[in-house]
Amino acid sequence: MGTGGGRRRTALVALRQRVERHASLLWWLHSFYVLALGTGIMWLGSRNIAWLRFAAFYLLFIWLSSVFLVEVVNRREGVWWSRARIAVNYVNKNFYQQLLFFILPIYAASTTVWSGNLIFVVVLAVSAVLSTLDLVYDRFLSVHRTWAASFFAFNVFAVVNVALPLLLGISNRQALMLSTVAAVVGFATIAWRLSHLRRTATWLGIAGGAVLVLLISESIRPYVPPAPLRLLATEFGTGLDLGVFRVTGALTSLPRAFSGRVFASTALRAPLGLKDQVELRWYRGSRLLWTSTPHDILGGRVQGFRLWTSIPVAPSGSDALRLDALTAAGQLVGRATLGVRP
């Protein structure tokens, strides 16, 4: 009996040593597995955004566990604290992965290709991938307070910004403001030790940082896709059927000598609960010609929303005619161009 127990202990020790020797390889394999799993979560996010109602629970857990990690676990040494660090990080990463891969296709669907808001989606995709890289997350992101705080602040901004218009029925501008506040609170509580919050200097630093974040948020507003609002299609023509809000005399390009009125009809998708305002802007080349009054958008219509607009056009060389749809917050919903042919 004793000999059998000794053999089992020897086998377990040998197995543990083998795992420790190949720990990095195993973590990388796990990262690739999680990355593949994230693809499935993206598929779910592109088809059922109602799951965003659970986002508050996910964010609350990530925030509390992150504060616990930097305040308690990372400041202690020992085998059990090391294991606790691995356990907290593992759960933290899983929650990040589920949230970020879920909202990524929602933002991507509201992104206009080759526009400034593509930058935000790329950064969000990088953030999602970083949450799957165990070694990077465990050894760098979760260890340094500033990095952990910055990572959380950006991601809480992205999640809150896309969730609030659906859950509370507020506009994208209001969602941007509230998500910025959430990012400031998240960053401050993770970047600074809680014991330091009793110091005046700490609060001055938080106030200065909050003002900076608010200014940055305001400056990057045009680069944030207006998710989940998106432009499905735009049609140009020489007339308009007001019964169905569809153009007649379809145009795919303008003759160089064209003179007359051009009509455009846009199809917008706004999910249930979304409330916002959209304006249409006409451009000739880079020159702004006309801006419409804001149109109220109330989500939930199965057929979506159709907005129409028109503008008189005179011969103007080779400059293309462009129509931009923007939210009241200045976020680009979509863009369509009518080129000029000889």
pLDDT 10s digits, 252-274: 998 888 889 999 999 888 876 77
Residue 31 has pLDDT above 70, yes or no: no
Which residues contact residue 267 at a Cβ distance below 8 angstroms, ignoring those fewer than 6 apart?
231, 232, 233, 234, 304, 305, 306
d(CA 89, CA 138): 7
Q: Pick 192 or 334 by higher pLDDT.
A: 334
C-alpha to C-alpha distance for 311 and 194, rounded to whole angstroms? 58
Distance in Å from the first CA to the final CA of the chain? 94
Average pLDDT over residues 188-202: 76
Q: Does 146 score more than 90 pLDDT?
A: no
- Max avg pLDDT among 13-17, 145-149, 165-169: 145-149
Whether the predicted model's global pTM rises above the 0.75 cut: yes
Which domains does the chain carry? 19-223 (no CATH), 230-341 (2.60.40.1930)
CA-wise closest residue to 235 among 310, 312, 331: 310
Q: Which residues pair with 247 in a beta bridge?
A: 240
Mean pLDDT across the stretch 142-146? 83
pLDDT in tens, 119-141: 999 999 999 888 888 778 888 88
How do residues 86-111 score in pLDDT, each as one tens digit?
788 888 888 888 888 888 888 998 99
d(CA 132, CA 149): 18
Window from 52-61, 155-164, 255-264 with minimum mean pLDDT: 52-61
Q: Are 39 and 97 in contact (CB under 8 A)?
A: no
CB of 263 closer than 8 Å to CB of 238? yes
| 235 Cβ contact partners less than 8 Å away, ≥ 6 residues apart | 246, 247, 250, 264, 265
Radius of gyration of the chain measured on its C-alpha atoms? 26
